[in-house]
Amino acid sequence: MVPLVLSTHNRLMWSNGAVIQEGNGIYYGCIRQVPEGLIWTAQRSPKGDALLQIDLGTGALLKKVLIPSVFVHDIFRHRDLVLVTDCDGGRVLVLQLPDMSFIRAIQVGTRASHLNTVCVLPNGDLWCLFHQKGPSSLVRVDWNTGAWLEVLSAGSQSHGVVPWDGGFLVLSSGTGELLHVTRTGLTVLWTDPDRKFLKGILLSGPDQVTFGVSDVTARSNRGSPALNCELVVFDLGRGTLVSRERLPTRGLLNTIG
């Protein structure tokens, strides 16, 4: 498998274990710039949220753009736009490539709803995942007003949204389950035997998904260098695990790109 980019609480790294960069706060998300070999990732640090442009080959920080978010949680590319989850602000920030200039903010929730992931379908529908620190909701929202247009049940303390088979793959982090969420309900595709914490997901093939598995730990311990997470590859067609490997993430695995 081609190495994937993992963002963790301490590192930006490859899925083969090689470190791209570390020591720049908490990393979230990966937007690749092809063929330049550059990416944008989000950073959360005591100095404020920012987007970092990084050279994958050297790990060099090329550009840093401060963004008006509080507790950034993920980034998503839609055409020439980048959407940022402003978790504590309950907003989706809209920025413009290539310079990440700020366009506007869409108020879609509150701090309590804990927005953590966004996804735009090819037809332009904007979907937002609300963790809600309990029963989670996947919501289709209005681009202009932020109004909730459609609400789907999406597990518990959930993270990650990947379109698949007429619905979405979502990680129910609180129950250790991989879900298929559709308008007709949700289906549990896989459950971790130890009900571990799932976070970070990517459709890595037509019927293959890769996601992260972490030991359940206190939120205050998610940046511990002793916390090393696993990377799971799952065959959606057969409903079986392809591989499961522990990596030196040195902190909670947040996203896969």
Q: What integer pLDDT is reported at residue 99 of this predicted model?
A: 92
Residue 204 lies in a domain: no
Q: What integer pLDDT is reported at residue 28 of this predicted model?
A: 96
Residue 49 lies in a domain: yes
Q: What are phi and psi of 231, to 5 degrees?
A: -115, 120
Residue 214 lies in a domain: no
Structure tokens at 234: 């799952």
Give the whole-angstrom CA distance, residue 249 versus residue 198: 14
- Verdict on whether the full-model pTM lies above 0.85: yes
pLDDT, mean of residues 180-187: 97
pLDDT per residue as tens digits for the range 23-51 = 888 999 999 986 789 999 999 988 899 99
Percent of the chain scored above 70 by pLDDT? 99
Residue 253 lies in a domain: no
Q: Nearest CA to 74 among 39, 43, 37, 105?
A: 43
Residue 207 lies in a domain: no
Residue numbers of the domain that contains 49: 5-192
Residue 244 lies in a domain: no
Q: What integer pLDDT is reported at residue 1 of this predicted model?
A: 63
Residue 219 lies in a domain: no
| Contact predicate 152/170, CB 8 Å | no
pLDDT per residue as tens digits for the range 48-73 = 999 999 999 999 999 999 999 999 99
Which residues does residue 225 pair with via DSSP β-bridges, in sequence order? none
Q: What integer pLDDT is reported at residue 165 of this predicted model?
A: 96
Structure tokens at 30: 């990966």
What is the CATH classification number for the domain harbouring 180?
Answer: 2.130.10.10
CA–CA distances in Å: residue 129 to residues 15, 136, 151, 169, 255: 25, 7, 10, 11, 14
**What is the number of domains present in the chain?**
1
3-class SS at 159? strand
Residue 217 lies in a domain: no
Q: What integer pLDDT is reported at residue 36 of this predicted model?
A: 83
The answer on pLDDT for 209 being more than 90 is: yes
